[in-house]
Amino acid sequence: MENERYQPPRNGVILLQVLVGMLFFVLVTRLWYLQIHHGDEFARQAHGNRLRHERIFAPRGRILDNNDKVLADNRTAWALSLVREDCRDIPVTLTQISVWSGIPLSQIWEKYQQDRFKVKAFEPLLLLTDINFDLVALIESEIYAWPGLKVVVRTKRNYPEKDMFAHVLGYVAEVNEKEMAADETLAMGDLVGKQGLELELEKQLRGQKGLYDVEVDAHARMLGKALREEPRSGNEMNLSINLALQQASWEAFGGEAGCAVVMEPDSGKLRAFVTSPAYDNNLFSTGISKRDWDALRTSNRFPLQNRVIQSVYPPGSVWKLLMTALFLERGISPRETVFCPGEVTLGNQVFRCWKHGGHGSVNMESAITNSCDVYFYLMAERIGIDKIEEFAKASGFGRPTGISLPHERSGLVPSREWKWRRFGRAWVRGETYNTSIGQGFTLVTPVQIAVYVSALLNGGDMLKPQLLENDGRVVTGRLPAKAETRNFIVGAMRKTASAGTAHVVYRRDADMGGKTGTAQVVKLKMGAGDRRLRTSEMEYTQRDHAWIATWGSKNGRTYVVVVMVEHGGGGSSVAGPIAKKIYDHIFGPAQDTPARGAQ
Amino acid sequence: MDRRLFSYINWGLLIFMLLLYLLGVGNLYSASGTRVGGGMVFSGFYQRQLIWGMCGLVCMMAAMSFDYRQLRNLAWPFFLVSILLLLLVPVVGKTIYGAKRWIPLGFMSIQPSEIAKFAVLVLSARLLARDESPLGWKDFSTVLCVALVPCTLIILQPDLGTTLLLLLILGGMILFRGLRGYVLKTCLLAAPTVAAFMWFAGMHDYQRQRILTFLNPGHDPRGTGYHILQSRIAIGSGRLWGKGFTEGTQSQLRFLPERHSDFAVAVFGEEWGFVGCVILVTLFCLFLLSIFSTAVQAKDRFGSLLVVGIFFYFFWQIFINIGMVIGLMPVVGIPLPFISYGGSATLLNFTLLGIVLNVSMRRFMFKG
């Protein structure tokens, strides 16, 4: 049976054996390297390939007034989105959106062109944001015929009181790259506080996002998701501000530009915080349009300015409340009199009293109640600028009060050193005169005045102005004034209200005190015979600022009300009536005012 | 047909082959699944592969049913037909992914380059079997020239993978047969020149790109390097035991490209881990050794060389495909026998094994 067998070449047989051996060895070695040696690393990469995380937005905490009235909450907002990949004919679809919404096609096109490259073809592109329910109903009834379109639900921060609380609450807007870099819990599209308490209370209000594990395919398309962490909503915050009082104060302001604060002198709580004009903070929640933003930014009435804490003004005669305390602390007797002839001459400069004919003989009390400038000129000269500076700073001026709002300004207490640094020139005596009546370089914020007046009433504690109902009393310093000093000033203010320049706030049913101020904005050159122009005759931006710093006490409740009207003119004629209306709200209409005495 | 023949069948080879084929179908079932929502959706690849396997078995039977020595006479006609078909491709072929490789026949498409592989193999076996002594210049260049005709036509399609495979099969057969010393030395010296010529004149940009990417896969992770990175992630993440059947995340979530064709083994590696891969590689080695034993035991030189050609046909595909998927080789379009999906390839694989079984059955027969 045995055949003459063919013998394969020996080298060839070895070659085949070697090749098979090599195949096995090389492949298994490499597989070991990948799957065992680096297996964990690849497994991690595979996990990262497949799993994405999707954040679940936590509802932002509501903000309420001190009576649980809603000042900021979240509402549902509908938006219409388009997934390009699913859309058969984009121009026709956009036209249909225009037909539904009544928005010009060109505008929708513009939005589409602007955003189309920001999202992938399979991701929703928002075309209409914050659409009303009627439109949602209309679109939903026909949307089946329009693949790629979808109505999506989002939440939007809602400020029912709009402008009235704009500067207290601030606003939220979409997070920017810088904020994201600073806080890793933030992600694109998050709303964060940008201004006001929304910014200051960001941590409490934000809550904690939940987390979905999202399984995706290679095109990042979602295949399924599982809840990993529940979202936790932000804390609800009660403001110390009272909505009704805020409203009354806001209305009292009318159309004026300026601000008003109502502070409880014992606790430091702010009960009203008005700055006017303001803006509708709802504009920011879903992205403010460029047109609206430009309008706000360039308005010559500066609606973005928080006048209570960010605007600095010369305090005018309100400053005399501080100077008086200084005089007393420096040992000047309240009985000492000064003769006011209506002006004082210093070198070749004439410093006038506001009262043309002069006040005649004045003592400390009458100097306050009648706001006699000459008295303050002469006494201040005796004390000197250095002591004034020291005392003003110790009394809380020239530094922020510490209120929980961003961008608070310090104001300015001038000094020799400051002037040298600022202008390269030495201090001159006339500047001490100006400083003594709250003119010249001195700048204060209205909230500083409120803190100062509160300190006079509460025993000398300088308090941090509080905006939250549940925050405790925070003492930031002690007024460098003895009890007698404070009592004297409080008494002088009482007299100013009952018989002096602050009479406008006077009411019999309450213990009232006040001090007005009229701060010159521009120094008007006046010859000896010139008469002062009436406010109405001056250009708006040259008109004086009107101040009134007051307190009122009734039935054991005491409030400090400070009103500042920009370019309003006289303190008693413009700021005073506003303060009066605020007291009318707090204490009820004054009983001796027939016009309001209905009950 | 002589009944005794069946008792001489290389059963080991048959069993290894069937095991590999079934593993391949199972793997395709998993690879064709796509996770959607909570469930899986399967495309029909594995079903079609099953049908192709049935057809392949018929082809295998047919390839076993005649005396393989008749192939020797049919070598030239086969070759000429395959050249004709290759010439037809540019005329009637359909273009898929920028390459014209298929001739549509209505219900299916055939790939003439697959037929050419077989034809070159048979013709080379015939040419190399002519005499016993190691090859001199004359025989060497004859074989080379004959093979260059289909190679040129195939590389124009363009199909670098098949061309390379053809040249490698031929090279393997020549090495097995043995070269005279001076021919071998000249070849070794000429190889760099030929390689340089291929690089600059014979390759398309994308082919060069693939090789460059192979050398530095991180360079362009979303582009050409994506295949390599993703397949390494898939295989590597399988670790020791794998993620389990149909549990491979990289494949089912479509991170892995061409997971049912060239990269099918990556799915296997991900789901069965190192243990599964070693079993698969071992199975392939046993399979190759079975072919190899047939080549050694063949009763004539033509049969032996024919089987050696088939050995190299499988060897290079296994080596290149797995090597490519695990990042040892550049990405060239070479499927893994029995594991990758492919109609023509399956038919050819079965047919070629039919021939190996044919040779093995007839190893003890008297000379006709």
* pLDDT above 70: percentage of residues in chain A: 91
pLDDT of residue A3: 44
Of B238, B253, B366, the CB nearest to A223: B253
The mean per-residue pLDDT over the stretch A542-546 comes to 86
CA-nearest residue to A226 within chain B is B38
Q: What is the mean pLDDT of residues A64-80?
A: 91
pLDDT at residue B215, as a whole number = 64
Q: What is the mean pLDDT of residues B149-153?
A: 89
Q: Does B156 touch chain A (CB under 8 A)?
A: no
Return the sign of the alpha-carbon dihedral for residues B157, B160, B161, B165: positive
Chain A residues closer than 8 Å to B263 by CB = none
Backbone angles phi, psi at A400, to 5 degrees: -65, 155
- CA nearest neighbour of B233 among A37, A53, A34, A28: A34
Pairing outcome for strands A172-174 and A149-158:
unpaired
Most confident of the following: A124-133, A156-165, A213-222: A156-165
For residue A304, CA distances in Å to A72, A158, A170 come to 19, 19, 10
The predicted model gives B270-290 an average pLDDT of 93
Instruction: Report the SS3 class of residue A431.
Output: helix
Alpha-carbon separation of residue A362 from A368, A379, B116 (angstroms): 9, 12, 123
Once rounded to an integer, what is the mean pLDDT over residues B127-143? 84
Q: Do B178 and A11 touch (CB under 8 A)?
A: yes
Bin A402: left if φ > 0, else alpha if -120 < ψ < 50, else beta: left
Find out whether B317 and B334 touch, Cβ atoms under 8 Å. Answer: yes
In this predicted structure, the answer to whether residue A112 has a pLDDT above a threshold of 50 is yes
Distances from the Cα of B8 to the Cαs of B58, B68, B292, B309, in angstroms? 20, 15, 16, 21
In this structure, the dihedral spanned by the alpha carbons of residues A217, A219, A220 and A221, taken in order and rounded to 10 degrees, is -70
- pLDDT band of A533, cuts 50, 70, 90: low
Q: Is A269 helix (H, G, I), strand (E, B) or coil?
A: strand
When CB atoms are compared, the residue of B134, B237, B281 closest to A24 is: B281
Mutate to test the interface with B, among A28, A42, A216 (most CBs of B within 10 A): A42
Rounded Cα gap, residues A310 and A409, in angstroms: 5
- Closest chain B residue to A5 measured between Cα atoms? B299
Answer whether B176 sits within 8 Å of A9, measured CB to CB.
yes
Chain B nearest CA to A82, separation (Å): 22
Q: In chain B, what percentage of residues exceed pLDDT 90?
A: 24
User: In the numeric block, which tokens belong to residue A401?
Assistant: 């009060």
What is this structure's pTM? 0.61
Residues contacting A417, CB < 8 A, separation 6+: none
Q: Which of A172-186, A487-501, B221-235 has the lowest mean pLDDT?
A: B221-235
Q: What is the DSSP string of A212-226?
A: EEEEE-TT--EEEEE
- Residues B233, B256: Cα–Cα separation, whole Å: 9
Closest residue on chain A to B319 (Cα): A23
Extract the tokens encoding A199.
């910014």
Which tokens hold the place of B113? 């380059």
CB A334 within 8 A of CB A368: no
Q: Which of B253, B318, B364 sits opposite A3 (nearest CB)?
A: B364
The pair of three-digit structure tokens given for residue A5, joined into one six-digit string: 């067998």
Vertex B288, ends B286 and B289: CA angle to 5°? 60
pLDDT band with cut points at 50, 70 and 90 for residue B90: confident
pLDDT band (50, 70, 90) for residue A373? very high
**Tokens representing residue B25 in the block:** 């179908």
Q: In chain A, which residues have their Cβ closer than 8 Å to the Cβ of B295? A: 8, 16
Give residue A595's pLDDT: 42
Residue A67, number of CB atoms within 10 A of its CB: 10
How far apart, in whole angstroms, are the C-alpha atoms of residue A429 and residue A385? 8
Could you read off the pLDDT of A453-464 as tens digits, one per residue? 999 999 999 999
Chain B residues touching A1 at Cβ < 8 A: 364
Interhelix angle A429-436/A373-383, rounded to 10 degrees, is 130
pLDDT number for residue A217: 65
pLDDT band at residue B307 under the 50/70/90 scheme: very high
Percent over 70 (pLDDT), chain B: 87
ipTM of predicted assembly, 2 dp:
0.86
**Tens-digit pLDDT profile for residues A215-252:** 766 665 666 777 878 888 899 999 999 999 999 999 99
pLDDT at A275: 94
CA pair distance B63, B354, nearest whole angstrom: 5
Residues of B in contact with A24 (CB under 8 A): 281-282, 285
Question: Where is pLDDT greater, at B251 or B350?
Answer: B350
Nearest CA in chain A to B287: A20
Q: Find all residues with CB under 8 Å of A478, minimum gap 6, and list them.
A: A460, A461, A462
Burial A401-424 (b: 16+ CB within 10 A, else e): bbbbbbebbebbbbbeeebeeeee
Place of tokens 């019999």: A508
For tokens 């893994």, what's the residue? B336
A78 in helix, strand or coil?
A: strand
* Domains of chain B by residue range: 3-361
Strand partners, A211: A55, A229
State the burial class of residue B106 (Cβ atoms within 10 Å of its Cβ: 0-12, 13-18, 19+): exposed
Q: Who among B134, B234, B326 is closest to A30 (CB)?
A: B326
Listed range (A518-532, B22-36, B116-130) with the worst mean pLDDT? A518-532
Residues B161, B165: Cα–Cα separation, whole Å = 6
- Lowest average pLDDT, out of A173-177, A293-297, A567-571, B363-367, goes to B363-367
DSSP code, position A239: B
Other beta carbons within 10 Å of A184: 7
Min CA distance, B109 vs chain A (Å)? 30
Q: What are A379's two structure tokens?
A: 């006494």
Per residue in B22-77, pLDDT (tens digit) is 999 998 888 776 655 556 666 677 888 889 999 999 999 999 888 888 888 999 99
* Peptide bond before residue A414 is cis, with ω within 30 degrees of 0: no
Between B112-128 and B137-155, two packed helices, what is the crossing angle to 10 degrees? 180
Task: Decide if A20 and B292 are in contact by the 8 Å CB cutoff.
Answer: yes
Question: Residue A597: is its pLDDT beyond 70?
Answer: no
At B88, which helix (H) or strand (E)? helix B69-92
Residue from B226, B253, B279 whose CB has the most chain A CBs within 10 Å, to mutate = B253
Mutate to test the interface with B, among A3, A14, A31 (most CBs of B within 10 A): A31
Q: Which residues contact A447 (CB under 8 A, 6 or more apart)?
A: A261, A308, A309, A401, A403, A408, A465, A562
